[in-house]
Structure 1
Amino acid sequence: MENKKIILIVIATLIIGAGLGWLLKPSTSEKEVMEMEEQEHLDEVASEIWTCSMHPQIRQNEPGDCPICGMELIPLAADNSGSSPNNYQMSENAIKLANITSEIVGVGNASKELRLNGKVQVDERNAYSQSTHIPGRIEKLSINFTGEKVRRGQTLAMVYSPELVTAQEELLQAASIKESQPELFEAAKEKLKNWKIGSAQIERILANGKAIQRFPIGADVNGIVTEKMVDLGDYVERGMPIYEISDLSKVWVLFDLYESELAWVKEGSKISYTINSLPGETFEGAISFIDPIINSQTRVATARVEVDNKDGKLKPEMFASGIVKSGVSKTTSEEIIIPKSAVLWTGERSVVYIKEDLKGRSSFQLREVILGPALGDSYVVKEGLSTGEEIVTNGTFTVDAAVQLSGRPSMMNPKLDTKDNSVLNVENLTKDEKAQFQPIIEDYLALKNALVEDDFKGAKSIIKGLESKIKAFNTSKLNEKTLKIWKSFEKELLQSTRLFSASQNIEEIRNEFIDFSESIIGMVNVYGLNYKQLFVMHCPMANKNKGANWLSASAEVKNPYYGSAMLGCGELKTRLK
């Protein structure tokens, strides 16, 4: 009896538990059902859209063949359920196969190490052009080569001056009548003083009573002779330079700064440098001046470092190599820095791909960024990224190619409208718009006839005109969708004409005529180019027994792929209306 009670209690407990479980379960079950229905709906919507694997811009609501290349359309996969239409998802296996890597965006000190090349040069403030104050002929040169040291007052040369001899004779004559005409005597002395003839020399002339024939030219400064500008026997005019003398106790080291490096170097920037001819020694300095004008020929500005050179180690024209470590700006704030490999350039803008995790799958989305200065293998990002975001750093081009094929915004099509999954149909063209295609089709038919007749030269002549007509096609009146399809046709047609032009024999033209015919047939179908009756013909043996089509104005089979060898090989496939 006791056992029966226990069994009844257990059974009752189980029944009550099951009932409570059933009462609590509906909300969760209902949610799962709703998610399944939503997923089924998305799959159903995706299955209604058909696209071409080679031409992803083609979208149709039913299966069929691509109007451009003739390939069978495939259903557009619903790989972005629940995410932005601009996102492109990839499986982890695909990411590994494509060797795509990413990293989290962080901040760092936006500093750069610049390597500069330069030369030791004379300090222009200590360079002096020694000139002569006496006109005449060089009778003697005391300094005969460059590099010689000179002291201030040292005699550099002796000059014979007929003019100075005449002035001395005038002084002696004026001295004889100075009692009666003192003004004349003083004027004669002043004339000599204007030639830098000192009072001691004037007194010696008066004491000797005869003119001095040769006068010395003394050095005005201490330094090294860096250039000798006269030779013995030369006649010099007053004020004419005869030597260049430089004081090398202080020199400049001038470094070349290219335009791209100007943002990184400022006056006061510290620089460490080495001199090629002084291995093992490192010098420290600060940039005291940056040339405000860029050399129009070399496209560089110079950065000056002033150096004390009392020991004479540094000599003009020595090569120097310097390193400047500098930040982007004078502030100490950190900047966002990304690798160069993460950036795609389009000429007008810079883009990166942001990686996100959506329901366990990796998703990629295009992001335009504004870059700052380059940091070797990295860039400073001014706008477009935030810290913590993940970007693709390796395989960026692979991601972009996949995104572009999927019809989403990519590097070359950043504003592509991916929300519009409607059929990409061509609106009815006007009679004038259709007439533009007529010369292209006529040349195609002429090329086909040349191949039928085995006429290689005639085919080459037609190809030249065909290419020019394709390039001259006027697209100004085509709407956006019609133009987009024409661009696909134009690319394929021009690729074929280029291969035609490079062909060395008629067989090479026939091989390329296979793809060219498919493009022409697709163009006729898409744009409804029915100004005349056209037929699609098929040869099962062409293209290595894979079969190939061609377009004809006649229902009679005349095979362009074999010509006279098998002229009648083929069959009528379609009659175009």
Structure 2
Amino acid sequence: MHPQIIKDKPGSCPICGMDLVKRSVTGEKVNDVTLNDLLRPSNQYVLSRIPTVHSQLRDEPVEITTYGFITYDTRQVGTVSSNTAGRIEKLYVKFRYQKVSKGQKIMDIYSPELLTAQQNLLFLLQHDADNQVLISAARQKLLLLGMSNQQLDQVIKSGKPVFTVSIYSAYNGHIHESSAEEGMQPKVQAGMKDVSVLTEELPLKEGMYVTKGQNLFIIYNPSKAWAVLNIFSGQAGMVKVGDKVRIAPETAPGKDFRASINFIEPFYRPDSKTTTARVYFDNPGMGIPIGSQVKGTIFSGARSARWLPEEAVLTLGLDKVVFIKKEDAFIAHKIEAGIVNNHLIQVLNGLSENDEVAANAQYLVDSESFIKVKQ
């Protein structure tokens, strides 16, 4: 029989004479895919049976991960200065970052002005002892020039002036030269690569002259420190003073501790365009070295919003896209997204509670095409 011979009723083949066989169609009828579905562009519509999810409105505790560093608490910074002009006779600190205690002697200074003031006081005591007004003024002048009450009493008792006056530290901490104010800034971390700068001797030497009011040293107390955390601008609005935070030093993760946000700087630092938050904490025994990098987790409380799994949202540069299920296909749809928290992404706009989206948007992306979103 020849297959090209087709008739609408039984008969025989006019070529070979064989009986015609009734033609039958096999297969199943497909009802869920139409020609329009197959002709849709693959970068706008995707045919798939991937599982779907809905955005959920609920309160989600927000945790913000930040990074920063440890620096000195500037509220604990003290200055050692000279109350009189003179020459350094004896220097008791020898190197940078030397530890000093409150009341410790820093240096001895010979001052002609101080010597003259002592001689004036002794002259008044010997020749005009009843003139308490002048004597009191002479005593006060010596105290203002840096002489302690103990030294002054010794001069009066001995009747002889002392040639040097001692300068004592009024603070506990580490010695820094007075020109190193940048030591409390994060840029010092880059400077620490130059070891010669850190290990060189102090600029002040015995025999050098100092002027009245000159700042000689700055003392930083490492037992009081700040954790300075950098917060991205998109998350800054969720952080406020008083929020709890967990700080974990990268050099010693086992020394993590809990604290609170104490201050948020109202400006951007020149080397960073992130908001900076300060966490004040006690650092006894310098348990965490100054300059250490830290990781912070800020607990900013629960936030009521619509949330989707992070895998359901596709990032296209500045745009966020989900695939909404429409009948038999998934359609790329642009949304406005907020923060990402615990593998959930906040949906600010673009989705309703009834919209059904693909649970994993990555599975619907064709690597040879671009996603096009209808505006």
TM-score normalised according to structure 1 size: 0.47
User: Higher strand share goes to which structure?
Assistant: 2
- Match of residue 394 from structure 1: 362
More helix by share: 1
Whether the 8 Å contact between 1:269 and 1:287 is mirrored in structure 2 is yes
Q: Partner of 1:473 in structure 2?
A: none
Kindly report which structure 2 residues correspond to 1:329-340, keeping only aligned pairs within 5 A, or say none: 331=303, 333-339=304-310
Q: CA deviation at 1:237?
A: 1.8
Map 1:558-569; keep pairs closer than 5 Å. none
Q: Does 1:79 align with 2:36?
A: yes
Counterpart amino acid of residue 268 in structure 1? G
Matches within 5 A, 1:298-377: 298-326=272-300, 331=303, 333-339=304-310, 342-343=313-314, 345=316, 352-357=322-327, 362-365=328-331, 367-375=333-341
Instruction: State yes or no: 1:145 paired with 2:87.
Output: no
The answer on 1:265 being equivalent to 2:215 is: no
Q: Which structure would you say has the larger Rg?
A: 1
Contact 2:146 2:167 in 1 (8 A): no
Q: 1:284 maps to what in 2?
A: 258
1:337/1:292 Cα in 2 relative to 1: closer, same or farther (>3 Å)?
farther
Identity level (%) = 24
CA 1:271 to 1:136, structure 2 compared with 1: closer, same or farther past 3 Å? same
Measure how far apart 1:161 and its partner are: 0.7
- Contact 1:354 1:364 (8 Å CA) reproduced: yes
Structure 2 counterparts to residues 20-39 of structure 1, below 5 A = none
Supply the distance in 2 between the matched residues of 1:307 and 1:389 (Cα, whole angstroms).
47
Shift of 1:367: 4.3
2:147·2:166 contact (CA, 8 Å) conserved in 1? no
Q: Residue 190 of structure 1 aligns to which amino acid in structure 2?
A: Q
The 1:282–1:207 alpha-carbon spacing in structure 2 relative to 1, beyond 3 Å, is: closer
SS at structure 2 position matched to 1:268: coil
Pairing of 1:85-124 with structure 2 (within 5 A): 95=47, 101=50, 103-107=52-56, 109-124=59-74
> 1: CA distance between counterparts of 2:260 and 2:357?
39
When normalised by structure 2's length, the TM-score is 0.69
Number of equivalences: 311
- The answer as to whether partners of 1:158 and 1:214 remain within 8 angstroms in 2 is yes
Post-superposition Cα deviations, 1:376-396, rounded to whole Å, max 9, x if no partner, equal 765311222123422242355
**Separation of aligned partners in 2, 1:129 and 1:203:** 26
Q: 1:119 to 1:297 in 2, by over 3 A?
A: closer
- Aligned 8 A contact 2:240 2:264 in 1: yes
Measured in 2, the distance between the counterparts of 1:202 and 1:89 equals: 96
Q: Tell me if structure 1 keeps the 8 A contact 2:337–2:345.
A: yes
Q: Deviations over 1:122-151 (max 9, x none)?
A: 222222112222321111112223444433
Report the AA paired with residue 121 of structure 1: T
Specify which of 133, 147, 167 is matched with residue 117 of structure 2.
Answer: 167
Over aligned residues, Cα RMSD in angstroms? 3.6
* Other structure's SS at 1:239 match: coil
Aligned twin of 1:128: 78
Cα deviation 1:21-77 (Å, max 9, x = unaligned): xxxxxxxxxxxxxxxxxxxxxxxxxxxxxxxxxxxxxxxxxxxxxxxxxxxxxxxx9
1:227 is matched with 176
Asked if residue 380 in structure 1 is aligned to residue 354 in structure 2, the reply is: no
Structure 2 CA distance for aligned equivalents of residues 132 and 303 of structure 1: 36
Whole-Å Cα distance in 2 between the matches of residues 367 and 279 of structure 1?
A: 42
Q: Which consecutive residues of structure 1, in runs of 5 or more, have no partner in the other structure?
A: 1-76, 81-86, 405-409, 415-577
1:88, 1:364 within 8 Å by CA — same for their partners in 2? no
SS at structure 2 position matched to 1:243: strand
Whether the 8 Å CA contact 2:305–2:346 is kept in 1: the answer is no
CA contact (8 A) 2:83 2:145 kept: yes
* Contact 2:52 2:356 (8 Å CA) reproduced: yes
Show the 5 A alignment for 1:180-259.
Answer: 183-221=133-171, 223-229=172-178, 230-259=204-233
Work out the CA distance in 2 between the residues paired with 1:276 and 1:257.
18
Is the contact between residue 120 and residue 316 of structure 1 (CA under 8 Å) also seen in structure 2? yes
Preserved contact between residue 88 and residue 365 of structure 1 (Cα < 8 Å): no
* 1:330-349 deviation digits (Å, cap 9, x = unpaired): 54x342325366346586x6
- Partner SS, residue 141 of structure 2: helix
Go from structure 1 to structure 2 and tell me whether the alpha carbon gap of 1:111 and 1:179 turns closer, same or farther (over 3 Å shift). closer
In structure 1, what residue type is equivalent to 2:113?
Answer: E
Indicate how the Cα distance of structure 1 residues 309 and 209 shifts in structure 2: closer, same or farther if over 3 A, else same.
same
2:183 alignment counterpart: none
Q: 1:401 to 1:197 in 2, by over 3 A?
A: closer
Q: Does the residue aligned with 1:201 lie in a helix, a strand or coil? A: helix
Which runs of 5 or more structure 2 residues have no equivalent in the other structure? 1-33, 179-203
Matched AA of 1:133: N
Equivalents in 2 of 1:89, 1:200: separation in Å?
93
* In 2: Cα distance, 1:367 partner to 1:278 partner: 45
After superposition, what is the alpha-carbon deviation per residue over 1:418-438, rounded to whole angstroms, capped at 9, x for unaligned?
Answer: xxxxxxxxxxxxxxxxxxxxx
- The answer as to whether partners of 1:149 and 1:225 remain within 8 angstroms in 2 is yes
Q: Secondary structure at the match of 2:154?
A: helix
DSSP-derived class of the 1:79 partner: helix
